[in-house]
Structure 1
Amino acid sequence: MSVPREEAVQQIIDFIRELDKLKAVERKTRPLGLARFENSAEHSWQIAVQAMALSRYAEEPIKIERVVGMLLLHDIGEIDIGDMIVYATEGLEQRELAEQQAVKRICGLLPAEIGGTFLSLWQEFEAAATPEAKFAHAMDRSVPIILNLANNGQSWRENGIRYEQVVKRNGPAVQAGCPALWAVLKRQLDEARAEGWFGI
């Protein structure tokens, strides 16, 4: 049963207000030329734009609007649980459960039909099984690499992240979704290793 229009619009406004909190979630990478760390909202916007620009190089045919939807929503659970660097492994299962609960809570602010659609997009991204989700993962994993390569390995050096970790954790996902992108990044990562831009 649908809710009255004004009530539905107010629910959407409440959801948008909640999303504003994503701007306060700090990540580990600094925007180019800035001393502060980027936030999760900025990250989501940037990878969505990159997806639009690289969509022709996806490994399989994709519906780009689904990809953009996934990327804009994929980190909303961090409103409740914060960001964790992709290389962390401790407490991963508990974190995944907490993030799932957070996304359900946040999507639950919306009218049921819209909230269900958003939750489904988030779940599709998490499963990483469809062509769209694979491409979305490639975008999510690649932009931090791009920024680190432009920042002389800033977050890798600050967090003790080794070359092998970067390649092992990100390579399969980027390769599966956008091989052309991984071919370029892998070459640049090899050059960065020669420059000593990784942690030890």
Structure 2
Amino acid sequence: MTDIDKQLQFIIEIDKVKNIFRRNYIADGSRNENVAEHSWHLAAMAIILEPHVEKVNILKVIKMVIIHDIVEIDAGDTYIHDKEGLKDKKQREEQAAKRIFSMLPEDQGKELRDLWHEFETGESNNAQFANVLDRLHPFLMHIESKGKAWIENNISVKQVYEVMSSVEKFPRLWEYLTQKISIACEKGWLQNDEKI
């Protein structure tokens, strides 16, 4: 099989992310978002929010957010608040990464798998920014959909602060986020931890 054959087969394979649906809704609350939409929106966010970060390679960040959830083709989407599903998430996704990225020519597959690992470890500036985008995007969708998925899953203020803690490294985004969490509490979209 030639390199172009492998690349085109990979492109066809990743079309499957369009059929993997997430728990959060799109902004208007009319339906659940799929993984392809999520990844596209993250890439757009990276471009738009780049002025708020320093020392990132925006092309590398865009590549990361485009490919970070490709593993969900095999591993499925794991809801951030699903404690049981999170237990074996890493193992399922590692197995998926091995299969999916090996479809590409060796050097290209290694590049994308390395980027995926960099995103997952979250240690580099690029990966930290990409991970913040990955947390911020569903948060924005929850706010715009009037907390629909939060309400359905009985999510508490504490749970939201726990999963959003990485955003604190970006003060302007953190300020926005904390204001929106207060509004979500006032409107009853989030469970008050004191009442749980």
> Normalising TM by the smaller chain, what interval?
over 0.9
> Contact (CA 8 Å) 1:67, 1:136: kept in 2 or not?
yes
TM-superposed CA distance for 1:164, in Å, is 1.2
Amino acid at match of 1:86: I
Residue 86 of structure 1 is matched in structure 2 by 80
Q: Is the 8 A contact 1:138 1:175 kept in 2?
A: no
> Which residue does 2:28 correspond to in 1?
33
Aligned-partner Cα distance in 1 for 2:179–2:27: 21
Cα displacement (A) at 1:34: 5.2
Q: What is the TM-score normalised by the length of structure 2?
A: 0.93
- 1:29 is paired with a residue whose SS is strand
C-alpha distance in structure 2 between counterparts of 1:44 and 1:92, whole Å: 20
Say whether 1:198 aligns with 2:190.
Answer: yes
Distance in 1 between the 2:177 and 2:100 partners? 34
Alignment of 1:1-200 (within 5 A): 7-33=2-28, 35-58=30-53, 60-170=54-164, 172-176=165-169, 178-199=170-191
Q: 1:120-175 deviations in whole A, cap 9, x for unaligned?
A: 000000010000000001000001111111111011001111111001111x2112
Superposed structure 1 runs of 4+ greater than 4 Å apart: none
Q: Within 1, Cα distance between the matches of 2:29 and 2:9?
A: 31
Alpha-carbon RMSD: 1.4
State the alpha-carbon separation in 1 of the partners of residues 151 and 177 from structure 2. Answer: 18
Q: Give the number of equivalent residue pairs.
A: 192
Judging by fraction of residues, say which structure has more strand: 2
| Unaligned residue ranges in structure 2 (runs of 5+) | none
Contact 1:29–1:37, Cα closer than 8 Å, also in 2 = yes
Q: Is the 8 A contact 1:27 1:37 kept in 2?
A: yes
Point out where structure 1 has 5 or more consecutive residues left out of the alignment. 1-5
Normalising to structure 1: TM-score of the pair?
Answer: 0.91
